[in-house]
Structure 1
Amino acid sequence: MATLPSGALGTLDPTSDRAVFRQIADQIRDAITTGRFTEGAKLPSEAELVEHYGVSRMTVRNALGVLQGEGLVRAEHGKGVFVRPRPPVRRLASDRFARRHRDAGKSAFTVEAEAAGSRPEMDSLELREERPSPDVSARLDGPRRVLARRRRYLLDGRPVEVTTSYLPLDIAQGTPIAEPNPGPGGVYARLEESGHTLDHFDEEIRARMPSPHEVRALELAPGVPVIHLIRTAFDTAARPVEVCDTVMAADAYVLAYQLPAD
């Protein structure tokens, strides 16, 4: 049985109108966020929490359920409840597609992962020619066929992002873009080498709850949302040359932008 750390948890306030199970959840959450319960640590058992707070087992279970729903803890059958390790945070900066990164032979994911001191990795890749969805087709001005590049990215061994790039087949077919490794600087560097100098990107970002497939792919805890980002790349002729559909674990990212004031 785990030992309740001295001073890790306080006592209930009988005068509060906040439900008892929420008071317990508040105290455990505070102990996690302040480091009294560290990442990977086992929480006190249900029996210990029942004894500490003088409440029923169901009340304790309701409190732990709140924390599981927030993605702070995970329950392991027969072992107990543990503080969930949090993935490294990567700043999604507004200059991540600057040409200087491509000129240095690095993708945006690699540049920002290295800046955060994390180890970037891509552990799965699928390449296929397919008919685009109506939304992708509209964003790319109506191609009948596209090349889809699907991959999953990890930081320090943890999955944080699943991404699919869609490129018109007349641009991608027969080029390094259709190869598993498109070369230094990634797809955008190859687009520019083929005459499609990039002019700007349009991005749409929203937060939502993940699909079951996304939960599995990103190994998300219950209650953790995702950031859904759709980016369209345009060349200097105003042609859309790529649509990138990205789903990111929301607890692994901070969106950071510099916006002009004029």
Structure 2
Amino acid sequence: MAGEQPAYRRVADRLRELILSGELAEGAQLPSLREIAARYGVATSIATRALDVLRTDGLVVSRPGAGTYVRRFERIVRSSPGRLAQARWRQGASVQDHDTGPRTRTVDVVIGDVPAPDFVAGALGIAPGAPVLSRARRFVVEERVVQLATSYLPTELTRGTRIEHTDAGAGGIYARLAEQGLAPSHFTERIVGRSPLPEEAAALELAVDGSRVLEITRYAHAGDRCVEVNRMVLDSDAYELTYSFPA
């Protein structure tokens, strides 16, 4: 019938009511896909789509091999340009602290030399494939994977510095660049909304079909020189991007 609500939406609404009423409390495990399908008389594919809606709405999280649980997730407010202000990292503050504040956060870091991708080489003014230092991070907030980020820097700026360490020190890599007289003076960010690549979906614990990410590429400049390229992939359902600038 024209205008009839899709079945997966109806199921999502029923489950949402159980969560918001407290019948399914914070931390409670939702019924399995088969149980949901049987209860509401739908196919398991419909039950899967219903849970995808609840996850998008920040009401549940899925743990691979362990099921789906009620967890209301407050979107992370990524406020620009204040989060990148020199005053913050010169005083030892973390950019991520600005985003998440006191919320529980863990970061997995992998560091090593890699061949420069074309988009990095062009920005840094080096040959494609030339070695650059890669700092690849995976951010988890309140048990939810929210972001993948990889910074690429010229090796001539990183050798023998704390930028090569998992913990780059107070103020992070921008403070370490400042110690070399290369404090970032301005940034450029390019943002694209897209579907995740299979490896990104796996790392972010997202479904390959139906999920969306925000790809943000940031270029840090010290004067006329680009000193870092940072490619970030954000779970679009986990973030709110805000911008404040003069008229």
1:164 touches 1:244 (CA, 8 Å); kept in 2? yes
Residue 211 of structure 1 is matched in structure 2 by 197
Q: Go from structure 1 to structure 2 and tell me whether the alpha carbon gap of 1:60 and 1:229 turns closer, same or farther (over 3 Å shift).
A: same
Residue 99 of structure 2 is matched in structure 1 by 112
Equivalences for residues 94-243 of structure 1 within 5 A? 94=80, 95-114=82-101, 117-122=102-107, 124-143=108-127, 144-221=130-207, 223-236=210-223, 238-243=224-229
TM-score of the pair, normalised by structure 2: 0.80
Partner of 2:177, secondary structure, is: helix
Q: CA deviation at 1:247?
A: 1.0
Equivalent pairs counted in the alignment come to 235
Name whichever of 63-72 and 101-110 sits farther off.
63-72
1:24 touches 1:60 (CA, 8 Å); kept in 2? no
In structure 2, how many angstroms separate the alpha carbons of the residues matched to 1:23 and 1:118? Answer: 31
In structure 2, how many angstroms separate the alpha carbons of the residues matched to 1:91 and 1:200? Answer: 21
1:24 touches 1:63 (CA, 8 Å); kept in 2? no
Q: Go from structure 1 to structure 2 and tell me whether the alpha carbon gap of 1:86 and 1:137 turns closer, same or farther (over 3 Å shift).
A: farther
Unmatched segments (≥5 aa) in structure 2 = none
Q: CA deviation at 1:82?
A: 4.3
In structure 2, how many angstroms separate the alpha carbons of the residues matched to 1:209 and 1:197? Answer: 34
Equivalences for residues 19-38 of structure 1 within 5 A? 21-22=7-8, 24-25=10-11, 27-28=13-14, 31=17, 34=20, 37-38=24-25
Specify the code of the residue in structure 1 equivalent to 2:39: L
In structure 2, how many angstroms separate the alpha carbons of the residues matched to 1:77 and 1:228? Answer: 24
Q: Go from structure 1 to structure 2 and tell me whether the alpha carbon gap of 1:216 and 1:240 turns closer, same or farther (over 3 Å shift).
A: same
Structure of larger gyration radius = 1
2:12 touches 2:54 (CA, 8 Å); kept in 1? no
Q: Go from structure 1 to structure 2 and tell me whether the alpha carbon gap of 1:208 and 1:135 turns closer, same or farther (over 3 Å shift).
A: same
Q: Go from structure 1 to structure 2 and tell me whether the alpha carbon gap of 1:260 and 1:76 turns closer, same or farther (over 3 Å shift).
A: closer
Partner of 1:125, secondary structure, is: strand
2:12 touches 2:51 (CA, 8 Å); kept in 1? no
Q: Go from structure 1 to structure 2 and tell me whether the alpha carbon gap of 1:19 and 1:135 turns closer, same or farther (over 3 Å shift).
A: same
In structure 1, how many angstroms separate the alpha carbons of the residues matched to 2:89 and 2:65? Answer: 50
Q: Deviations over 1:129-154 (max 9, x none)?
A: 22201111011122532111112122
Name whichever of 214-223 and 132-141 sits farther off.
214-223
Specify the code of the residue in structure 1 equivalent to 2:50: L
Name whichever of 221-230 and 185-194 sits farther off.
221-230
Q: Go from structure 1 to structure 2 and tell me whether the alpha carbon gap of 1:150 and 1:250 turns closer, same or farther (over 3 Å shift).
A: same
